[in-house]
């Protein structure tokens, strides 16, 4: 007996569980195919549930592979990316779900670029080197695979840099649209903010638009902000956050600190503290992991992100206790967590 005292059904259930883990990548690869084929957009453009034949015609796929399209749609329906409905004469057709509406390319809050970044070969390939990494001297499996860290890789590969920036921008549009509505109090009374690692300025543009009197500065690496034009109340600065952060009433760190280990996070926070002086604050948008209070799926997704940070970067997702330790180590006295962004929270940190 492979497992002592296990019944036949328990062994079969265990086998099924392991199989699901082994082939879990098929769900993300199927999603990638759907985005690349433009399936969500084709259904949306059809303006009503679409049959398999209509979908195949809209996508201009090889007619001999229409049955393969059915199988792809079947698994995506299973994962609630699409719905299957009955139309005339009980014929089956497909419609969008809330999840697939987030993947429409022309929607302002489209998540498609971030989805493609997360499933990109450059992101996924380092996971094949994780076991090797545990035995070498490299800081991450990404480094084991590529010989450089992610930031250096982006600096020399324009294609990857574009994919990364577009993915981050799509996430920023989504987050900032909620942030300025649900957390207006966070920005009230401020005259200037610095968005550190702000990419192409998506968050700063939304914040500046919601609070016209607020001056926004976007700080990111020179290759990220090169050629970007600001506006009357928004400027771009190329630089290194470890060296200098422009002064402001507040510093925004959206999905920044989870990229870095403890020592680097403390260095960043100390630079933030210098930038805001005694009367300012740091506004962090990141995950706060709590396995006891969170739902299973939420906690599972946070675990996925934690291992992603370990594999691609040198960071991690943190518990409140770990966040508090970082703030204290950087010389901050107080903080407030507001869980309004689903998997992520808004954390205000005060000197």
Residue with tokens 């985005």: 35
Residue with tokens 């498609």: 112
Question: C-alpha angle with apex 302: 39 to 105, nearest 5 degrees?
Answer: 20
Residue with tokens 């998506």: 202
Helix (H, G, I), strand (E, B) or coil at 335: strand
Helix (H, G, I), strand (E, B) or coil at 50: strand
Is position 258 annotated as part of the catalytic site?
yes
Q: 225: burial class by Cβ within 10 Å (0-12, 13-18, 19+)?
A: buried
Measured distance CA(95)–CA(101) in Å, rounded? 10
| 323 neighbors 335 (Cβ within 8 angstroms) | yes
Q: Which of 228, 278, 224 is nearest to 249 (CA)?
A: 278
Find the catalytic residue in 44, 67, 185, 258.
258
Helix (H, G, I), strand (E, B) or coil at 228: coil
Supply φ then ψ for residue 326, to 5 degrees: -60, -45
Q: 349: burial class by Cβ within 10 Å (0-12, 13-18, 19+)?
A: buried
Contacts of 269 (CB under 8 A, 6+ apart): 257, 282, 326, 327, 329, 330, 332, 349
Structure tokens at 197: 């690692």
The number of beta carbons lying within 10 Å of the beta carbon of residue 167 is 21
Phi/psi class of residue 80: alpha, beta or left (left: φ > 0; alpha: ψ in -120 to 50)? left
Measured distance CA(46)–CA(43) in Å, rounded? 5
Measured distance CA(172)–CA(182) in Å, rounded? 15
Catalytic residues: 258
């Amino acid at each position: 007996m492979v497992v002592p005292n296990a019944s036949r059904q328990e062994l079969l259930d265990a086998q099924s569980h392991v199989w699901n883990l082994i082939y879990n990548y098929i769900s993300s690869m199927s999603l990638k195919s759907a985005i690349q084929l433009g399936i969500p957009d084709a259904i949306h453009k059809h303006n009503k549930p679409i049959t398999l034949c209509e979908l195949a015609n809209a996508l201009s796929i090889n007619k001999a592979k229409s049955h393969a399209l059915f199988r792809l749609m079947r698994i995506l329906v299973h994962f609630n990316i699409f719905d299957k409905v009955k139309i005339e004469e009980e014929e089956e057709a497909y419609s969008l779900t809330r999840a697939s509406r987030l993947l429409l390319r022309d929607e302002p809050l489209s998540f498609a670029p971030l989805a493609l970044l997360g499933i990109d070969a450059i992101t996924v390939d380092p996971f094949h080197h994780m076991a090797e990494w545990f035995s070498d001297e490299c800081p991450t499996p990404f480094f084991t695979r590529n010989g450089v860290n992610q930031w250096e890789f982006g600096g020399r590969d324009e294609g990857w840099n574009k994919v990364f920036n577009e993915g981050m921008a799509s996430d920023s549009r989504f987050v900032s649209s909620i942030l300025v509505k649900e957390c207006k109090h966070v920005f009230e009374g401020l005259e200037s903010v610095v968005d550190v690692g702000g990419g192409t300025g998506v968050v700063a543009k939304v914040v500046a638009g919601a609070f016209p009197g607020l001056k926004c500065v976007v700080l990111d690496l020179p290759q990220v902000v090169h050629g970007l034009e600001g506006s009357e109340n928004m400027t771009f600065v190329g630089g290194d956050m470890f060296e200098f952060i422009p002064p402001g009433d507040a510093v925004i760190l959206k999905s920044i600190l989870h990229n870095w280990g403890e020592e680097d996070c403390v260095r960043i926070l100390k630079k933030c503290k210098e930038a805001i002086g005694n009367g300012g604050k740091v506004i962090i948008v990141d995950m706060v992991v709590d396995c006891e209070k969170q739902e299973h799926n939420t906690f599972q997704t946070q675990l996925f992100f934690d291992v992603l940070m370990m594999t691609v970067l040198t960071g991690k997702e943190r518990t409140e206790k770990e966040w508090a330790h970082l703030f204290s180590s950087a010389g901050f006295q107080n903080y407030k967590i507001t869980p309004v962004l689903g998997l992520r929270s808004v954390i205000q940190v005060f000197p």
